Amino acid sequence: MTFEKNILCIGAGYVGGPTMAMIAHKCPHYRVTVVDVNPERIAAWNSAQLPIFEPGLDAVVGKVRGRNLFFSTDIEAGIRDNDIIFVSVNTPTKSFGLGAGMTADLQYWEKTARQILAFSHSPKIVIEKSTLPVKTALAMERILNCREDGICFDVLSNPEFLAEGSALSDLEEPDRILIGSRETDRGLRARATLADIYANWVPRERIITSNIWSSELSKLVSNAFLAQRISSINAISALCEKAEADITEVARAVGMDSRIGPKFLNASVGFGGSCFKKDILNLVYLCRHYGLDEVAAYWESVVTINRFQQERFIETMLGAMFNTLAGKKICLWGFAFKANTGDTRESPAIFIARRLLEEQAELVVSDPKALLNARADLAGVDGSVRYVEDATLAAEGCHAVALLTEWDCYRHLDFERIFGSMVQPAFLFDGRNILDHGRLYEMGFNVYPVGKPPLVHF
Ligand code: UDX
Ligand code: UDX
């Protein structure tokens, strides 16, 4: 069978995998191949047990895999045989040298660009899917366009805005698709080719274009704004606890202003995930690079408040539990950085678990999807940690439960039974404000929400 277009994606992660599954699903007339350096990851994509959990992903992959979606480790053949190449390899925060802890580590991206250069026998459109510091495309163009045989490469920026846990619906009905390109004839032609791919299912008015630097910057700024909203509401949650106001009531009143809007105003134990902190630090680094120290400090404070919120959570636990956690059993409900994913990257649960272990508490970690990752995150950390998938069993014999991820299953537990199985007085710290605090208090729990007065039995 011949296909209208042959599309490759390098990097079979949380972004590359679901995005390509959606393109294959919506465009049966295109052949989509996903390659990765990691053979285990590719084997998992080719098996019944996909390497990532994402609602609805199994069904979509099941429909298209082997039809027009293929997973492979053969990067060379992939590059040779495809004309449109998405790159979604990881771009972690640099851990060494200049810009360590702040800017993105671009070694995988550059390595990938050099592979594209080495294995191409024909012109290609190369699309940045990974979130990258502004002007990365320029560097990629310089690497790619150093061939002497006249083969040319067009580099586009097409940031992905999907959120984990809702990746499939975000991909199916995106708020917008952003395509940045050079504003030359060739650049505009490449931009149109990519727009045509998305137009198979996304309304044209939602496909917006810009110059390449605006596109790269828009992704960093979108994530910075989202994270800033969370840090803003979390900062106010600290004030609410002192002033005996209720953060849910404040967020509701503020969010009803149509200029502000109600979304992303849930106070929490802090934001996690692979993007927010990394992208803000990228932005901060960029601002410093251009001598904009005040702007850098402004955005950096979003990360500072996030850490403050997590530390505050520990202080609340300590204060409530008579200033000692040593030898006490504490159950964590949820380890994923948000509900509906098994991903734990930058999860507040990692920080909180480590801090509780420093206080010499014994931990029981529970999560419906993230226990494998949780084990890896806490490997080698001193202290006692058990992993129990069932939330009710996990809480048995514990002095306290700390709810860290807003999984729906935690709303509907048999709390009477849980209360009866815990050491008294039993404490419940709701780091996501999803439980019925009044009811739990009536049952006998001492309840500590975020940004609300605690409900304590004396
Ligand atoms: C990644 C980036 O972290 C993010 O900044 C960007 O917006 C999108 O891509 P994600 O898909 O969540 O996000 O990363 P990850 O799940 O780590 O997947 C990256 C994949 O690339 C991994 O499977 C890794 O094995 C692969 N990879 C990495 C390559 O195939 N080649 C390399 O040289 C490096
Ligand atoms: C984010 C962006 O939403 C997405 O557009 C981008 O492509 C990648 O980064 P993601 O990190 O997957 O997506 O999830 P998101 O829903 O944004 O949540 C991030 C963190 O913020 C989670 O830890 C979540 O629990 C937390 N959060 C979110 C809050 O604490 N309060 C809120 O009101 C919303």
Residue-wise pLDDT for 156-180, tens only, equals 999 999 999 999 999 999 999 999 9
Query: What stretches of 130-211 show up as alpha helix (H) in DSSP?
Result: 136-144, 167-172, 185-198
Residue 62 included in any domain: yes
- The answer to whether residues 340 and 166 touch, using CB atoms and an 8 Å cutoff, is yes
* 239 and 123 in a common domain: no
For a substitution probing ligand 2, which of 157, 171, 226 has the most ligand atoms within 8 Å of its CB? Answer: 226
Q: Is the pLDDT of residue 151 over 80?
A: yes
Residue 227 included in any domain: yes
Residue 42 included in any domain: yes
pLDDT band at residue 322 using 50, 70 and 90 as cut-offs: very high
CB atoms within 10 A of CB 372: 12
The mean pLDDT of the chain is 95
Distance CA 346, CA 275 (A): 9
Cβ of 108 closer than 6 Å to ligand 1, yes or no, is: yes
pTM of the predicted structure, to 2 decimals:
0.95
Q: Please name the residue whose Cα sits nearest to atom 26 of ligand 1.
A: 11
- The answer to whether residues 85 and 153 touch, using CB atoms and an 8 Å cutoff, is no
Cβ of 27 closer than 6 Å to ligand 1, yes or no, is: no
> Stretch 407-431: mean pLDDT, rounded?
98
Per-residue pLDDT, 259: 98
* 198 and 254 in a common domain: no
> Considering every ligand atom, which ligand is closest to the CA of 14?
1
* 227 and 163 in a common domain: no
How far apart are the CA of 391 and the centre of ligand 1, in A?
A: 31
How far apart are the CA of 60 and the centre of ligand 2, in A?
A: 23
How far apart are the CA of 29 and the centre of ligand 2, in A?
A: 33
Report which residue type is found at 411.
Answer: R
Cβ of 36 closer than 6 Å to ligand 1, yes or no, is: yes
Residue 194: burial class (beta carbons within 10 Å; 0-12, 13-18, 19+)? buried
Residue scoring higher pLDDT (143 or 434): 434
**Ligand 2: which atom is nearest the Cα of residue 276?**
9
Poorest-pLDDT segment among 12-26, 103-117, 434-448: 103-117
Domain endpoint, select from 145, 169, 202 = 202
> Stretch 296-307: mean pLDDT, rounded?
98
Q: Is the pLDDT of residue 146 over 70?
A: no
Paired residues of 430 in beta bridges: 403
Bridge-based pairing state of the strands 177-181 and 69-72: unpaired
* 30 and 11 in a common domain: yes
Cβ of 90 closer than 6 Å to ligand 1, yes or no, is: yes
Bridge-based pairing state of the strands 153-157 and 124-128: parallel
Per-residue pLDDT, 326: 97
Q: Please tell me whether the peptide bond between 425 and the residue prior to it is cis, using omega within 30 degrees of 0.
A: yes
What percentage of the chain has pLDDT greater than the value 90? 89
* 181 and 237 in a common domain: no
Paired residues of 178 in beta bridges: 208
* 47 and 130 in a common domain: yes
How far apart are the CA of 132 and the centre of ligand 2, in A?
A: 18
* 377 and 278 in a common domain: yes
Domain endpoint, select from 202, 225, 252 = 202
pLDDT tens readout for residues 339-365: 999 999 999 999 999 999 999 999 999
- Write the CATH number for 264: 3.40.50.720
Q: Which domain holds residue 434?
A: 212-458
* 360 and 233 in a common domain: yes
Spell out which residues line ligand 2, taking CB within 6 angstroms: 160-164, 223, 226, 230, 264-266, 268, 271-273, 275-276, 337-338
Q: Please name the residue whose Cα sits nearest to atom 25 of ligand 1.
A: 38
How far apart are the CA of 114 and the centre of ligand 2, in A?
A: 33
* 329 and 428 in a common domain: yes
Count of domains observed in the chain: 2
> Stretch 255-279: mean pLDDT, rounded?
97
Catalytic residue positions? 275
* 221 and 108 in a common domain: no
117-148 in b/e burial notation, b at 16+ Cβ within 10 A?
beebeeebbbbbbbbbbbebbebbbebbeeee
pLDDT band at residue 279 using 50, 70 and 90 as cut-offs: very high
* 170 and 28 in a common domain: yes
> Stretch 14-29: mean pLDDT, rounded?
98
> Stretch 145-155: mean pLDDT, rounded?
83
The three-state secondary structure class of 67 is coil
| Angle at 345 (CA atoms; ends 388, 246), nearest 5 degrees | 80
Domain endpoint, select from 167, 202, 237 = 202
* 225 and 192 in a common domain: no
Residue 207 included in any domain: no
- The answer to whether residues 431 and 451 touch, using CB atoms and an 8 Å cutoff, is no
pLDDT tens readout for residues 217-253: 999 999 999 999 999 999 999 999 999 899 999 999 9
> Considering every ligand atom, which ligand is closest to the CA of 167?
2
Residue 376: burial class (beta carbons within 10 Å; 0-12, 13-18, 19+)? exposed
Q: Please name the residue whose Cα sits nearest to atom 6 of ligand 1.
A: 130
pLDDT band at residue 94 using 50, 70 and 90 as cut-offs: confident
pLDDT tens readout for residues 177-193: 999 999 999 999 999 99
